[in-house]
Amino acid sequence: MADGETIYLKDYKPFGWIIDDVHLTFRLHPTATRVISRIRFRPDYDVHDRPFFLHGEGLKTISIKVDGHEPKIYEEPGGIEVDVPHAPFNWECEVEINPQDNTALEGLYMSNGMYCTQCEAEGFRKITWYPDRPDVMAQFTVRIESTQEHTPVMLSNGNGLLYHTDLTQDQTPNYTIYQDPWPKPAYLFALVAGDLIAHEDKFTTMSGKEVDLAIWVRPGDEDKCAFGMEALKKSMKWDEDIYGREYDLDEFNIVAVDDFNMGAMENKGLNIFNSSCVLASPETSTDMNFERIEAIIAHEYFHNWTGNRITCRDWFQLCLKEGLTVFRDAQFTADMRSAPVKRIDDVIALRGRQFREDNGPLAHPVRPDSFVEINNFYTATVYEKGAELIGMLKTLVGDDAYTKALDLYFDRHDGDAATIEDWLKVFEDTTGRDLSQFKRWYEQAGTPRLSVKDDFNDGSYTLTFKQQTPPTPGQEMKDPRVIPIAVGLLNPNGDEVQDTTVLEMTEAEQSFTFEGLATKPVPSILRDFSAPVILEQDTDTATNAFLLANDTDPFNRWQAGDNLALETLLAMIRDGAAPSSAYLDALHTLLRDDTQDPAFRALALGLPSQDELAQTLFDQGQTPDPDAIYEALETLKQVRAEAYQDTITRLHAQYQVTAAYAPNAEQSGTRSLANAAMSMLNRLDGGHLAQEQFDHADNMTQQLSALGALISAGNGADAVTRFYEQWQHDRLVIDKWFSAQIIHAAPSDAATIAARLTEHPDFTIKNPNRFRATLGALTMSGAGFHQRSGAGYQLLADNLIALDPLNPQTTARMCTAFESWKRYDTTRQDLIKAQLERILATPDLSRDSTEMLTRILG
When the beta carbons of 328 and 828 are compared against Zn ion, the nearer one is 328
When the beta carbons of 322 and 384 are compared against Zn ion, the nearer one is 322
Q: How far is the CB of 302 from Zn ion (least distance, A)?
A: 8
- DSSP letter for each residue of 330-391: HHHHHHHS-HHHHHHHHHHHIIIIIHHHHTSTT---SS-SEES-GGGG-SHIIIIIHHHHHH
Output the CA–CA distances (angstroms, integers) from residue 296 to 209, 329, 736, in the order listed.
Answer: 24, 8, 19
CA dist 454 and 475 (Å) reads: 31
When the beta carbons of 218 and 342 are compared against Zn ion, the nearer one is 342
Output the CA–CA distances (angstroms, integers) from residue 67 to 83, 110, 139, 574, in the order listed.
Answer: 12, 34, 20, 75
Q: How far is the CB of 303 from Zn ion (least distance, A)?
A: 6
When the beta carbons of 120 and 562 are compared against Zn ion, the nearer one is 120
Sequence-ordered list of residues with C-beta below 8 angstroms from that of 409, at least 6 positions apart, any chain: 310, 422, 423, 426
The DSSP element (H or E) to which 479 belongs, if any, is none
Report yes or no: 272 and 118 within 8 Å, Cβ to Cβ. yes
Q: Which DSSP symbol is given to 580?
A: P
Side chain identity, residue 69:
H
* Nearest partner of 629 among 823, 347, 357, 355, judged by Cα: 823
CA dist 54 and 64 (Å) reads: 12
CA dist 247 and 269 (Å) reads: 9
* Nearest partner of 702 among 652, 643, 756, 749, judged by Cα: 652
Side chain identity, residue 126:
K
Q: How far is the CB of 426 from Zn ion (least distance, A)?
A: 20
Q: How far is the CB of 120 from Zn ion (least distance, A)?
A: 9
Report yes or no: 508 and 482 within 8 Å, Cβ to Cβ. no
When the beta carbons of 323 and 808 are compared against Zn ion, the nearer one is 323
In DSSP terms, which residues pair with 82 in a beta bridge?
73
Measured at the CA of 388, the angle between CA 383 and CA 393, to 5 degrees, comes to 125
Output the CA–CA distances (angstroms, integers) from residue 108 to 59, 123, 208, 419, in the order listed.
Answer: 12, 8, 36, 29
When the beta carbons of 325 and 758 are compared against Zn ion, the nearer one is 325
**Sheet of 534-537, strands arranged across:** 509-514, 460-468, 449-457, 534-537
When the beta carbons of 264 and 852 are compared against Zn ion, the nearer one is 264
Helices 717-727/731-743 angle, 10° precision = 170
Q: How far is the CB of 312 from Zn ion (least distance, A)?
A: 11
When the beta carbons of 267 and 469 are compared against Zn ion, the nearer one is 267
Report yes or no: 461 and 513 within 8 Å, Cβ to Cβ. yes
CA dist 271 and 249 (Å) reads: 13
When the beta carbons of 264 and 832 are compared against Zn ion, the nearer one is 264
Pick the catalytic residue from 294, 300, 322, 373: 300
Interface contacts to Zn ion, rule CB under 5 A: 322, 325
Q: How far is the CB of 322 from Zn ion (least distance, A)?
A: 5
When the beta carbons of 271 and 850 are compared against Zn ion, the nearer one is 271
- In this structure, how many other beta carbons lie within 10 angstroms of the beta carbon of residue 544? 24
Residue 300 annotated as catalytic: yes
Sequence-ordered list of residues with C-beta below 8 angstroms from that of 178, at least 6 positions apart, any chain: 141, 142, 144, 155, 156, 157, 158, 159, 160, 161
Q: How far is the CB of 138 from Zn ion (least distance, A)?
A: 22
Report yes or no: 690 and 682 within 8 Å, Cβ to Cβ. yes
Q: How far is the CB of 484 from Zn ion (least distance, A)?
A: 25
Q: How far is the CB of 384 from Zn ion (least distance, A)?
A: 11
When the beta carbons of 153 and 277 are compared against Zn ion, the nearer one is 277
* Nearest partner of 753 among 716, 802, 702, judged by Cα: 716
* Nearest partner of 643 among 695, 705, 579, 694, judged by Cα: 579
Q: How far is the CB of 830 from Zn ion (least distance, A)?
A: 39
Q: How far apart are the first and last CA of the chain?
A: 24
Q: How far is the CB of 624 from Zn ion (least distance, A)?
A: 33
Show which residues are catalytic.
300
